[in-house]
């Protein structure tokens, strides 16, 4: 009885030993059959993949960097020191007052929203985010007091809460700044709307995060506003998703390329959204050397047809609003140095980014690298318009605030010529003709204010140095 009782007690160990011996025997038997056909299983998905358009493989240059060492070129970049000066000069304050004039002229009395372009009562979530940044920056520069800043921000929050959302989900891509009506890009009323832009919404979400940081008394209104937007719809599996209306059908699409995508991801992280794939870069990154600098370029196509482009703007926003992380600091340093090197080589002042134009096609991306080449200037649809390259006011002020070099000081001196005390700063100077790009916008004047606030106090997300 004692033996049987012990046998029962040991049954678990016995089963384990039997399974172990059986498994070992099975492995030894399988090894006699030769190698399994793993190669065929691994190759098949690559041969049948349809997610990447064939055109992308054709347009990606053979010099791209790939593989596990994709970040190695950037590890060799020595980040430039930040140039927070802790004070504003007399010239800084003169420039700040000129930039703030734009918003004194272009904020609508009925809604508290700013026009995207001087005297043009249309806005997007991007421009609304820019206006919020302008208000916070003007407050830090003592152009307005705390009470006025709070009043302006409250009016923006109230209007945003009253917007008719696209399909009752998220803000439409464009609104009439005076009536809050859904509009198309010509500012014509649109009953259905255009869809939503994940990047534009992330831009205003970033600005709302800055509101909570600088005006915590407004946090309940911010939370109530965002609670009424279905932000879960634009964050799917760690990516940012926008929509377009095509042939009457709402279609979803991934939004964002390296630079803008990571800035937008940081914004969504402020409110607890999982955007791990949007913040990551390595899966969609190639390196293009421009003027001796490693430039981070997205391998995905812009609008499915044109190699992606690299401009200054998302890095300016990242540094001045959030403060760089180690990766974006290196990316920004390389992108800035390439522009400085182009000047040293050609004598052409270079400060490139996206800009509104004062004539058709009215908008351009002046790139460090884009469309398959360095220094390309592209329309939204990917056509080349290199004669519209602009020494951009916002790039000049932004780089000067962040890095404060002799070259950036020269840029600011050049674009100071397009300052209009009655209207604000114009977009910049056309490189080819030397004539001013006289379009005057909310985005540019907001960046000028943010840059000047950064010089004196550091990133908007952090406590201002008093």
Residue-level pLDDT at 67? 58
Separation CA 296–CA 303 (nearest Å):
19
Residue-level pLDDT at 307? 85
Handedness of CA 421, 426, 431, 435 (dihedral sign): negative
The model's pLDDT over 135-176, given as tens digits with 9 standing for 90+, comes to 999 999 999 999 999 999 999 999 999 999 999 999 999 999
Residue 30, both tokens: 């399988």
To 10 degrees, what angle do helices 90-106 and 442-457 make? 140
- Can you give the residue ranges of every domain in the chain? 2-33, 72-457
How many Å is the Cα radius of gyration of the chain? 27
Separation CA 404–CA 392 (nearest Å):
16
Handedness of CA 51, 57, 59, 62 (dihedral sign): positive
Contact indicator for 257, 300 with CB cutoff of 8 Å: yes
Separation CA 216–CA 15 (nearest Å):
63
Would you tell me how many other CB atoms lie within 10 Å of the CB of residue 252? 15
For the entire predicted model, the pTM comes to 0.85
Distances from the Cα of 339 to the Cα of 26, 206, 221, 288, 458, angstroms: 64, 27, 42, 14, 23
Residue 239, both tokens: 């990516």
Separation CA 135–CA 153 (nearest Å):
8
CATH entry, 72-457, from 1.10.8.420, 3.40.50.1820, 1.50.10.140, 3.40.50.11540: 1.50.10.140
Backbone angles phi, psi at 65, to 5 degrees: -90, 135
DSSP bridge partners of 31: none
DSSP assignment string, 22-55:
HHHHHHHHHHTT----HHHHHHHHHHH--SS-HH
For the chain, residues with pLDDT lower than 70 are 1-68, 465-466
Can you give the three-state secondary structure of 402-414, one letter per residue? Answer: HHCCHHHHHHHHH
Q: Which residue has the tokens 């800043």?
A: 149
DSSP assignment string, 271-329:
TT---HHHH--GGGEEEEEETTEEEEEESSEETTTEE--B-SHHHHHIIIII---HHHH
Residue 236, both tokens: 């799917």
Contact indicator for 336, 344 with CB cutoff of 8 Å: no
Indicate the DSSP class of residue 183.
B
Residue 48, both tokens: 């049948």
Question: Which of 161, 185, 59, 41 lies closest to 112, judged by CA?
Answer: 161
Contact indicator for 114, 177 with CB cutoff of 8 Å: yes
Contact indicator for 211, 155 with CB cutoff of 8 Å: no
Distances from the Cα of 455 to the Cα of 137, 228, 398, 399, 460, angstroms: 11, 36, 10, 11, 11
Residue 247, both tokens: 């042939």
Question: Which of 273, 156, 164, 154 lies closest to 228, judged by CA?
Answer: 164
Separation CA 408–CA 395 (nearest Å):
9
Residue-level pLDDT at 463? 78
Q: Where are the beta strands (DSSP E) in 93-137?
A: 122-123
Residue-level pLDDT at 56? 33
Separation CA 156–CA 208 (nearest Å):
10
């Amino acid at each position: 009885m004692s033996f049987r009782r012990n046998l029962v007690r040991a049954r678990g160990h016995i089963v384990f030993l039997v399974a172990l011996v059986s498994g070992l025997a099975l492995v030894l038997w399988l090894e006699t059959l030769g190698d399994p056909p793993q190669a065929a299983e691994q190759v098949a998905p690559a041969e049948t993949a349809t997610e990447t358009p064939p055109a992308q493989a054709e347009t990606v240059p053979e010099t791209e960097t790939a593989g596990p060492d994709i970040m190695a070129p950037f590890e060799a970049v020595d980040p430039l020191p930040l140039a927070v000066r802790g004070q504003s000069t007399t010239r800084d304050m003169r420039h700040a007052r000129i930039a703030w004039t734009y918003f004194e002229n272009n904020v609508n009395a009925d809604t508290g929203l700013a026009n995207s372009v001087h005297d043009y009562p249309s806005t997007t979530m991007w421009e609304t985010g820019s206006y919020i940044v302008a208000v916070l920056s003007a407050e830090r520069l003592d152009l307005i007091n705390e009470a006025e800043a709070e009043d302006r921000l409250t009016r923006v929050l109230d209007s945003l809460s009253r917007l008719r959302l696209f399909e009752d989900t998220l803000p439409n891509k464009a609104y009439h700044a005076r009536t809050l009506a859904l509009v198309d890009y010509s500012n014509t009323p649109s009953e259905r709307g255009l869809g939503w832009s994940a990047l534009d919404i992330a831009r205003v979400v970033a600005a709302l995060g800055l509101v909570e940081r600088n005006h915590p008394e407004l946090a309940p209104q911010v939370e109530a506003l965002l609670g009424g937007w279905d932000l879960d719809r634009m964050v799917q599996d760690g990516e940012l998703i926008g929509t377009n209306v095509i042939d009457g059908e709402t279609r979803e699409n991934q939004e964002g390329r390296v630079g803008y995508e990571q800035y937008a991801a940081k914004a969504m992280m402020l409110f607890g959204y999982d955007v791990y794939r949007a913040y990551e870069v390595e899966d969609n990154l190639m390196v293009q050397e421009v003027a001796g600098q490693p430039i981070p370029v997205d391998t995905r196509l812009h609008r499915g047809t044109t190699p992606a482009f690299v401009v200054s703007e998302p890095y300016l926003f990242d540094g001045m609003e959030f403060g760089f992380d180690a990766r974006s600091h290196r990316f920004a340093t390389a992108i800035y140095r390439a522009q400085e090197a182009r000047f040293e080589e050609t004598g052409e002042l270079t400060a490139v980014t996206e800009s509104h134009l004062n004539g058709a096609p009215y908008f351009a991306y002046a790139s460090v690298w884009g469309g398959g080449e360095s220094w390309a200037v592209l329309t939204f649809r990917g056509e080349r318009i290199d004669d519209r390259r602009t020494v951009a006011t916002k790039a000049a002020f932004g780089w000067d605030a962040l890095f404060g070099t002799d070259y950036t000081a020269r840029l600011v001196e050049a674009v100071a010529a397009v300052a209009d005390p009655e209207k604000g700063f114009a977009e910049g100077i056309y490189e080819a003709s030397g004539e001013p790009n006289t379009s005057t916008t909310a985005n540019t004047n907001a960046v000028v204010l943010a840059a000047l606030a950064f010089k004196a106090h550091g990133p908007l997300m952090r406590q201002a140095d008093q």
